[in-house]
Structure 1
C-alpha cells in the first residue's frame, strides 16, 4: 500500500522539528527558531536533506496552527482584560501601524518601486506577529508581566486593523482610487459582528457548559471546545473575516466561563502541535538564492521593522499614558512581522498588482525578525535601564507626570455617565434587533413558506414571530430607564438640562419605531398594510410594557450571571494554577536545621512539599518532623505568588526563567482522580486511606460539587464524585486510589 505524501511529510516535519528543538532547548535558545530552521532544512530549496513534497497540505496544517494559537490567546486574554488595556492598546496600535505604513511606503519609493509595491510594502511591515510574540512570551515566562497585557492588546487591535487593510488594499488594487466608503462599511460590519458574537456567545455558551457539566470529562470537553472554535471560524469566514479572528472571538467568549482554565489546559497540546507545523511551514518558504539576490531590500526592511516598530510603539504607548518602562518593553516585544504580513503579500500577488520580489522579501524579513524577536524581548529591560540613565531628568519627569495624569482621568460627570449608558444601550440593542430582522427575512420567512404555510399567511406568521422575539429588546432600546441616578440629578439640577433629556428620550422612541417599521417593510409591499402593522406593534409594545420589562430583566440577569461567573467562582485549585517547582535550600538560609512542623510552610504560604532530594536520597511527601539541611532540593507545589514568597525565605539564587519546570525524572506529577463507589478510598478519611504512606503522595485539594477545598485536613472523608487533586508517583497513586 502506498503511503500518502501528507503522512510522510508530517513525519519528516515533526522529526526535523523534534531534533532542532531538542538542540535549541539544550543550548537554551527559543524553540521558535528551531522550528524555522527545521522548515529551512526540509524545504524545497536545500537538496542535501529530504524535502517535503506536498507543501500545499502542510500550509493548510499551518493555517490550522494559526487558528488554534489565536484560540489559545483568546482563552488567556478575555474581553474584560482587553477592555482594561483597550484604550491604551488601540492608541498604541493605531500610531504604530500608521507610521510604519508611511515609513514602508517612503522606503519603497526611495528604492524606486511603484506606488502599489511601496504601499503593500508598508502594509507588510506594519503588522506584528501574534504567534511569534505568544511563543516567545511562553518560552521566556513573561505572559503574566505587566507589559504583556498591553502587548497582547496591541496585537489584537493590529489583527483587526490588518483585516481593514486587506479590505482597503483589495479595493485600491481593483479601483486604483480611494475606498473611503468601503472602509467605513467594513469597520461598521466588523463592529456589528463583534458585538453580536460576544452577546450571543456569553448568553448561550456558559449556560450550555453549565447544563452539560456532569457529562463533560476531559475527552468530551476537548472535542466540544475545538468544535466551538471551528464553528466560530466558519462563521467568521462566512461573513468575510479572517478565520483566525473567529478563533480569537470564541476563545475570548470561553475565557469568561468557569471552564476557561480547564479548556486552556486541554487544548494546549493541540495548539503546540499545529503551531509547530506552522512555524516549520514558514521556514520552508525561505529561499537562500532569493535572500542573496534581494539582500539589500531585505536588510533595509529588517532595519525599518526593528527600529521603526520599537520607536513608534514607544511613541504610541507613551501617548496612551503608559510608563516609559512599559512602553520600551512593549516596543521591543513587537519588532517582528508574521502571518498577516504573508497574507497581505500574497494578496498583492493574487491581484497581480505587486512585483514578484515582494513576497520573498516579506518572508525573509519575517524569518530574520523571528530570530531577533526573543533576544530583543530579553534586552528590553536592560535597554530601558540604559534610557533611564541617559535621558534628561526633565524628560523622565515629564513622561512620569503625563502617565500619572492619564491614569487619574477617571472622574465622570452625570452627563458623561448618562450619555455613555445611552450609547452602550443603543448599540447593543440595535445590533440584536438588526440581526433578528435579518435572520427573520432571510431564513425564518422562507422556512415557514416552504415547510408550514405559504402566501400571506407565511408572511404574517413570520412577522408576528419576529416581533415577539424583538419586543423585549425594543422595550429596552426605547422605554427602559437608564442610569436613573444621573438622570435624576440632571433633571432636578437645572431647568435647561430638561430639553436635551427630552430630546434624547424622543430619539430613543423614534429609533424603536424605525426598527419596527424596518421589520414591517421587510415583509409588506404596500404602505397601507405596513403602516397599520407598525401602529399595532407600537401599541402592543406600550400595552405589554410591564411583561416585557419582566422578561427582559430575566434575560439580562442570565447574561450578567454568565459574564461574571468566572470572577464569582471560588478560588480554583486546578493544575494550571498550581505547578511543581524545584527550589534549593541555601546554606545561609534561616530555615536550615528546622523541622517542617516549626516552619509551617503549608500553613503560612499554602505550599506543599512533595519531595526532598538530599544527595542520592529521595524523601517523598516528607513528614512534619523532617528537617531541612543545606543544599536540599525541595520539590514544591503551589501557585506563582505562593512559590515566590517561599523562595524568599529559602534564599535561592536561580534564574527566573528556570524557576518553573516539571520533573518527570522524579515521577512526581500533579493529577486528578475521581472517587466512585468502587474506589478503595470511598468512605475513608485521608488519614485512614493511607495515601501518604502507601503511595508516597499528597492530597493538595478536593472538589465536591461547587465546593473547592485547598489543603484539606486529614479527617476529611472521601465521598462518591469527589475530585481529588493529588501530587505523587503516578503508578503508586493508581494502586492505592
Structure 2
C-alpha cells in the first residue's frame, strides 16, 4: 500500500470534522461558519482529544486559496453598477457606522495599552459587518422584503468597498509603520487608477469575448475560463502591490456586469464552498482557548462595541439620511456583527507580521459571539424600535418627521453640477486609459525593437495612434447637449465653462507632449506636439467616428445585463412604505381577476404599480388589467401591509435575477401652490391619474398624513401630494402645475 501524503491526511481530517459540524449546526439552525470554526478548534494544535493537523503550512496555502474564492464570490455579488445605484441612505448609514466603529475600536486598543498597529487593525476588524451572516439571517427570518433590509443590503455594498480600501491603507501603514500622508494618498490614487483601468478594460473585452466564444462555453469551459480570469487578476493585483484577495474581488466585480454572472455564480459555488470551508477551519485552528481566557476583557469590550456602539452609530446615520425611527433602529441593529472581511483583515496583520499573536483569536472570538446574537438582534429590532418611538418626545418626533420629509423631496441637480460631474468622471476615465497605454508602450513595446533612428518615431506614432480616440473624448466630448446648451445660454456660467473646456484641451496637449518628451529632446518634443496637434485637429472627425464605435461597444457591454432591482426596492415609497416584487403562482386567489375587483387598496392598503409578463412590462396598470400565473408584480406598501398581502396571495418571493425594469417608474412629491387649478378640486375630478399616468399614494396636510387618500378628498393650498408613476409624464405634469396650465 502506497504512503498517503500528510497533506491528504490533513485534508481528510479537516473535511471530516467540517462535515460533522456542518450537520450539527444545520440541525441547530445556526450559521455553518461557526461550525467550521469549531471544527478548526477541534483539529487544531490546542485541542488534543482528537487527531491534529500535521502539515499546517500546506493548510495555510489552501486557506489562502479559500480567501481568494471567498472574495471572488463576494465580487460576483458586488457589481459596480449596484454601487452606483446605492442611495444616499445606505451610503450615509454605512459610512457613519464604519467610521465611528473604527474610531471606537482603535481607542479600545489604545486604552488597553496595545501597539499602534494592533489598535489600527482592531478598528478595522470591528468596523466591517458580515455580508454572509446577514444574508443568511434575513433568509431565515423572512425579512428580506422589508424596507430596512434593502437599506442594510445597500450599506453592505458600501462596507465591502470600504473594506477593500481599508486593506490597502492598513497594508501601506504596515509597511511604513507610520502615518505617511503622501504615501497614503499615493496608495489610494494607485488603487483608484487600477480600479478604473481594470473595470473599463474588463467591461470592454470580457462580454465581447463571452459572445464570440458562446458556442464553446459549456459549463466546464465557463468554469475554467472564469477561474483562470480570477487567478490572472490575482497575479496582476500582486504585481501592482495589492493583496491577492483584492484581485479576486475586482475580477468578480467585473464579471458581475456580464450576462454570464448568474451561471458563473452557480458553477463556482461548490468550489467556493469547499475552499471557504478550509479557510474557516484554518481560522479555528489558530484559536487558542488559553489566550481567549487571558484576553476575555478586550473580547467582552469589543463585543459590547458591536452590540451597542455600531447599532447606535448606524441608527444615527440612517436618521441623518432621513429615515423614520423604526427603520433606522432596525437598520442599525442588523449591522452588529463581524465576519469574513474581519478575518481577512486579521489574516493580513498576521501575514505582514505587524500584529500581536492575541489579536487574531480576539477577532475570531468576537465574530463567534456576535454571529450567535445576530438573529436575535434582527428579530428584536422591531420591538426595540417601537419602544424607542414610544419613548421619543413628541417634539423630537415632529422635528425628525419634518427633516425626513425634507430629505425625501424630489430635487434635481443643477445643470452645472451635472456637467461638472460628467467632466470629472470622463477626465478620470480617459486619463487612466491614456496613461495606461503610454506606460504599456514604454515598458513592453519599446524593448522589443532594436535601437535605431526610426525606433522612437515608430513607438511615438503608434502610441499617439492608440490614444487618439481617447484624446478626442478628453478634449472635445461635451456631454449631454441639452445641459451644455442651458449653461452656455447663461452669461454667469459661460466663463467657467470656457475655462473648463480649455483645461481639458490643455490636458490632452500635455499627454501628447509627455509622449514626445519620453523619447525626444525638449525642442523636438515641442515641434512634435505642434505637428501632432495640427494633425489631430484636422482629422478630429475621423477620430470622433472611431471613438464613437469604441464607446458604443463599451455601452453595449455595460448594459448587456439588466440592472438588478434589489437595491431600488426602497426608493419608490413615501414614509414607511417601499416597493417589493412578487411572482404569482397559479393557485393565487387574484389570478384571472381584473384589478378593479380585488379592492387591494381598500383591503390591504397596497398598490400594484408594475406588472412584468415575460418581455412585456405594464407600468401603472389600469383597473381592467388581469393578472396571470408567473406575472411579476411590484407592490408598494408598508412592511405590515406587504406581509398581510403576501400571506393572502400565497406567493413566492421573486428571485434576484428577475429582470423587472422599474427605471421608468418613480416616486414624486409636490406641494400645491395657491394659484393651482387643483385647489378646491377632488382627486377624482382633477383627472390627475389620467393626465400623468400615476397613482396618488399619499397626502400630507399640516401635521396629518393620509396614505392612499380617498378619491373624494378636496385638495387645499400647500397640500403635499405623493404620486407613483411614469417619470416622464409626471415631470411634464409638475411643470403644468407650476405654470397653472
Q: Which TM bucket (shorter chain)? A: 0.7 to 0.9
Question: For residues 349 and 206 of structure 2, what CA distance do their matches in structure 1 show?
Answer: 39
Q: Give the superposition deviation at 1:59.
A: 2.9
Which residue in 1 is equivalent to 2:440?
439
The answer to which of 58-67 and 41-50 deviates more is: 58-67
Q: Label 1:244 to 1:138 Cα distance change in 2 as closer, same or farther (>3 A).
A: farther
Instruction: Decide which of 542, 546, 551 is 1:551's aligned counterpart.
Output: 546
Q: Label 1:307 to 1:605 Cα distance change in 2 as closer, same or farther (>3 A).
A: same
SS in 1 for 2:454: helix
The answer to which of 349-358 and 371-380 deviates more is: 349-358
Question: For residues 426 and 143 of structure 1, what CA distance do their matches in structure 2 show?
Answer: 39
Which residue in 1 is equivalent to 2:557?
562
Instruction: Decide which of 483, 492, 496 is 1:486's aligned counterpart.
Output: 483
Describe how 1:156-167 pairs up with structure 2 within 5 A: 156-167=157-168
The alignment status of 1:426 with 2:427, answered yes or no, reads: yes
SS in 1 for 2:93: helix
Instruction: Decide which of 502, 514, 530 is 1:506's aligned counterpart.
Output: 502
Contact 1:233 1:243 in 2 (8 A): yes
Contact 1:62 1:281 in 2 (8 A): yes
User: In the TM superposition, what whole-angstrom CA distance separates every residue of 1:226-265 from its partner, at most 9, and x where no partner exists?
Assistant: 2222222222222122333322322222222222222222
User: In the TM superposition, what whole-angstrom CA distance separates every residue of 1:432-487 from its partner, at most 9, and x where no partner exists?
Assistant: 1111111111111112x2xxx43332222111111101000100110223222122
Instruction: Decide which of 512, 519, 528 is 1:523's aligned counterpart.
Output: 519
Q: Label 1:107 to 1:410 Cα distance change in 2 as closer, same or farther (>3 A).
A: same
Question: For residues 590 and 134 of structure 1, what CA distance do their matches in structure 2 show?
Answer: 31
The answer to which of 500-509 and 360-369 deviates more is: 360-369
Contact 1:104 1:125 in 2 (8 A): yes
Contact 1:100 1:122 in 2 (8 A): yes
SS in 1 for 2:562: helix
Q: Give the superposition deviation at 1:508.
A: 1.2
Q: Give the superposition deviation at 1:644.
A: 10
Q: Give the superposition deviation at 1:205.
A: 0.6
User: In the TM superposition, what whole-angstrom CA distance separates every residue of 1:64-112 from its partner, at most 9, and x where no partner exists?
Assistant: 3332233223333422222111644443333223322321233233334
Question: For residues 26 and 9 of structure 2, what CA distance do their matches in structure 1 show?
Answer: 25
SS in 2 for 1:28: coil
- Unaligned runs of at least 5 residues, structure 2: 565-580, 591-610, 615-628, 636-641, 656-741
The answer to which of 139-148 and 456-465 deviates more is: 139-148
Question: For residues 278 and 459 of structure 1, what CA distance do their matches in structure 2 show?
Answer: 51
Q: Give the superposition deviation at 1:645.
A: 11
Contact 2:169 2:187 in 1 (8 A): no
User: In the TM superposition, what whole-angstrom CA distance separates every residue of 1:400-449 from its partner, at most 9, and x where no partner exists?
Assistant: 443443343540222112212211221111111111111111111112x2
Question: For residues 244 and 154 of structure 2, what CA distance do their matches in structure 1 show?
Answer: 19
Describe how 1:107-256 pairs up with structure 2 within 5 A: 107-134=108-135, 136-137=137-138, 146-169=147-170, 172=173, 177-256=178-257
Instruction: Decide which of 466, 471, 474 is 2:468's aligned counterpart.
Output: 471
User: In the TM superposition, what whole-angstrom CA distance separates every residue of 1:638-697 from its partner, at most 9, and x where no partner exists?
Assistant: 989899999745769xxx9xx999xxxxxxxxxxxxxxxxxxxxxxxxxxxxxxxxxxxx
Describe how 1:648-663 pairs up with structure 2 within 5 A: 648=647
Contact 1:285 1:363 in 2 (8 A): no
Q: Label 1:60 to 1:70 Cα distance change in 2 as closer, same or farther (>3 A).
A: same
Which residue in 1 is equivalent to 2:25?
24
User: In the TM superposition, what whole-angstrom CA distance separates every residue of 1:202-242 from its partner, at most 9, and x where no partner exists?
Assistant: 11111111111111111111211222222222222221223
Question: For residues 57 and 418 of structure 1, what CA distance do their matches in structure 2 show?
Answer: 54
Task: Give me the TM-score of the superposition, normalised by structure 2.
Answer: 0.73
The alignment status of 1:67 with 2:68, answered yes or no, reads: yes
Q: Give the superposition deviation at 1:182.
A: 1.5
Q: Give the superposition deviation at 1:116.
A: 4.7
Question: For residues 61 and 639 of structure 1, what CA distance do their matches in structure 2 show?
Answer: 43
Task: Give me the TM-score of the superposition, normalised by structure 1.
Answer: 0.73
Instruction: Decide which of 509, 522, 527 is 1:532's aligned counterpart.
Output: 527
Q: Label 1:510 to 1:61 Cα distance change in 2 as closer, same or farther (>3 A).
A: same
Number of aligned pairs?
Answer: 598
Question: For residues 651 and 65 of structure 1, what CA distance do their matches in structure 2 show?
Answer: 40
Contact 1:163 1:242 in 2 (8 A): no
Question: For residues 355 and 495 of structure 1, what CA distance do their matches in structure 2 show?
Answer: 62
Which residue in 2 is equivalent to 1:44?
45
Describe how 1:191-590 pairs up with structure 2 within 5 A: 191-345=192-346, 354-408=355-409, 410-447=411-448, 449=449, 453-492=450-489, 494-524=490-520, 526-567=521-562
Contact 2:31 2:133 in 1 (8 A): no
Contact 2:583 2:633 in 1 (8 A): no
Question: For residues 72 and 549 of structure 1, what CA distance do their matches in structure 2 show?
Answer: 39
Question: For residues 251 and 206 of structure 2, what CA distance do their matches in structure 1 show?
Answer: 10
Q: Label 1:646 to 1:390 Cα distance change in 2 as closer, same or farther (>3 A).
A: closer
SS in 1 for 2:50: coil
Q: Give the superposition deviation at 1:138.
A: 5.8
- Kindly report the root-mean-square deviation, in angstroms, between the aligned alpha carbons of the 2 structures: 3.6
Q: Label 1:254 to 1:179 Cα distance change in 2 as closer, same or farther (>3 A).
A: same
The answer to which of 392-401 and 534-543 deviates more is: 392-401
